[in-house]
Structure 1
Amino acid sequence: MKGTFDKVSAKCSMIVTKNYSTSFSLGINFLDEKLRHPIYAIYGFVRLADEIVDSFHAYDKASLLSKFRRDALEAIRDSISLNPVLNSFQEVVKKYKIDLELINLFLESMEMDLKREVYTPEKYERYILGSAQAVGLMCLHVFTEGDRANYERLRGPAMKLGSAFQKVNFLRDVNADFSSPEPDILSGCRPFEVFGQ
């Protein structure tokens, strides 16, 4: 039955979240119970894309990410995916009317992560928009539970919060990125390369 598969899919997203982020998992426990699985689903989707970019160095990352994008958009279009994490995600996208633009912005930022280059201020802001702010806005769709007026009221503050979290992540990871042969901050550029310094 599809209902059973959907439950299994939701559990898979939860398992992904709990295995990849202890702190995020703990944070989810403070949410109302009805909001937890939707946020697990969003995190699972984001985590898989990020994992392609950050960890799969022995594989063709561009090809994997392109396939992931196709699979995600097909899951949303068809309301099903045999990938349980994408199946869980598409269900949340439909239920909470998450804008496709946010999903595409996020995936574009993941594509930016595939290339090592100097970031202009404009590219830096574009990266932050997709990698952090768009994800925060996906979650805001869940938190506001379809109340569009409330979503629009909170949209600006949510974007600022997402941007702040991302910048804290850059600072947290700066030492590892300077010493890593495969730096993953801002598509592999060093933080001081962001503005060409």
Structure 2
Amino acid sequence: MSGPRRRTLDDNATSLDLYDSAAQAAAAQVIRSYSTSFGLGARMLPKPMRRHIESVYAMVRVADEVVDTYRGDDADDVLDAFEAGVLAAMGGRFSTDVVAHAFGVTARAVGITRAQTDPFFASMRADLTVTEHDDESFALYVYGSAEVVGEMCLAVFLNTGAGPTPLPAVASAGARRLGAAYQKVNFLRDLGTDGGELGRSYFPGIAVDTLTNEQLAALVADCRADIEAARACLPALPRRAGVAVSTTIDIYTRLLDNIAALDAAELAGRRVRVPNTTKAVFAARNSWNSRRSGAQNAQ
């Protein structure tokens, strides 16, 4: 009796497609574990677009976890290794790191390049050494940590299924403003954690223990300006992408409203959030409005 035979697949491309799918499924688990807001938005997208957004989120989240959660003595080496893996996956075809592999599939499909990933990793690396920012370093940090991520997402929205093409300048500017807005709202929400546990102060000249209501109002106004600039660019997106982004905008606008309603002294001691039921209402309302608009336009 012969021993067990190892099955081999004749179609190697099919095998690689299966690995791509497995890597993308692992990336999807990251967004489900970490973000109800962006997870909800992703679920509103067509499946191919959703997979790419999940892969972008997973790559960004893993890098962020290295500098915000792990923070070990070798965190810089861990981040360097992850960045090298991401770059290799973007330029190759296979990675044993499933998050890097999934991101590589997405980057090649929609045209994400080192023009986005290099500034992103530079900002992540800054979190390991920089504890306070001036105006210049803050602008660079927000650009790398958030604005280029907005561009990555825009590439997914516009190029999924079409292949890599240059991003329209107006839409790209809107995506950067939205990424900046989300990042700065997160800074406000996490002001106490960043200033206490992590020992960081992102906003130039702003200290968690001396924040005034006037300073808070100015920061909120700056976030609102970014959001409104981004909202004006929504018509450039495919319909379902526009619905998904509108939903995340609504969630962050409500979060910002809740922050603005607080006294500055309260902000450091609590983490403001938006209930999941409210997020679901936003999603349902935007989906309904989009379908109704589409039906009216078809008449």
Report the TM-score, using the length of structure 1 for normalisation. 0.89
Whether 1:50 aligns to 2:53 is: no
**1:155 alignment counterpart:** 172
Per the alignment, in what secondary structure is the counterpart of residue 144 of structure 1?
helix
**2:112 alignment counterpart:** 98
Aligned match for 2:32, one of 13, 18, 30: 18
Deviations 1:85-118 (A, max 9, x none): 1111001100111121101110111001111333
Per the alignment, in what secondary structure is the counterpart of residue 130 of structure 2?
coil
Deviations 1:96-148 (A, max 9, x none): 11121101110111001111333120110000000000101001001111574
Q: Name the CA distance, whole Å, in 2 between partners of 1:129 and 1:167.
A: 11
Aligned match for 1:141, one of 138, 141, 155: 155
Aligned length: 190
- Indicate the structure (1 or 2) with the bigger Cα radius of gyration: 2
**2:142 alignment counterpart:** 128
Report the TM-score, using the length of structure 2 for normalisation. 0.60
**1:190 alignment counterpart:** 201
Alignment of 1:111-122 (within 5 A): 111-122=125-136
Aligned match for 1:28, one of 19, 42, 58: 42
Structure 1 residue 26: Cα displacement: 1.0
What residue identity is the alignment partner of 1:132?
A: A
Aligned match for 1:77, one of 88, 91, 101: 91
The 1:176–1:76 alpha-carbon spacing in structure 2 relative to 1, beyond 3 Å, is same
Q: Name the CA distance, whole Å, in 2 between partners of 1:2 and 1:32.
A: 22
**1:2 alignment counterpart:** 16
Aligned match for 2:195, one of 178, 183, 189: 178
Contact kept in structure 2, 1:120 and 1:196, CA below 8 Å? no
Contact kept in structure 2, 1:118 and 1:196, CA below 8 Å? no
Structure 1 residue 2: Cα displacement: 1.1
Aligned-residue Cα RMSD (Å) equals 1.8
Contact kept in structure 2, 1:140 and 1:158, CA below 8 Å? yes
Deviations 1:135-164 (A, max 9, x none): 010010011115746533301111111111
Q: Name the CA distance, whole Å, in 2 between partners of 1:8 and 1:37.
A: 11
**2:52 alignment counterpart:** 38
Greater relative CO, 1 or 2 (CA 8 Å, sep 6+): 1
Q: In percent, how many aligned pairs have the same letter?
A: 32
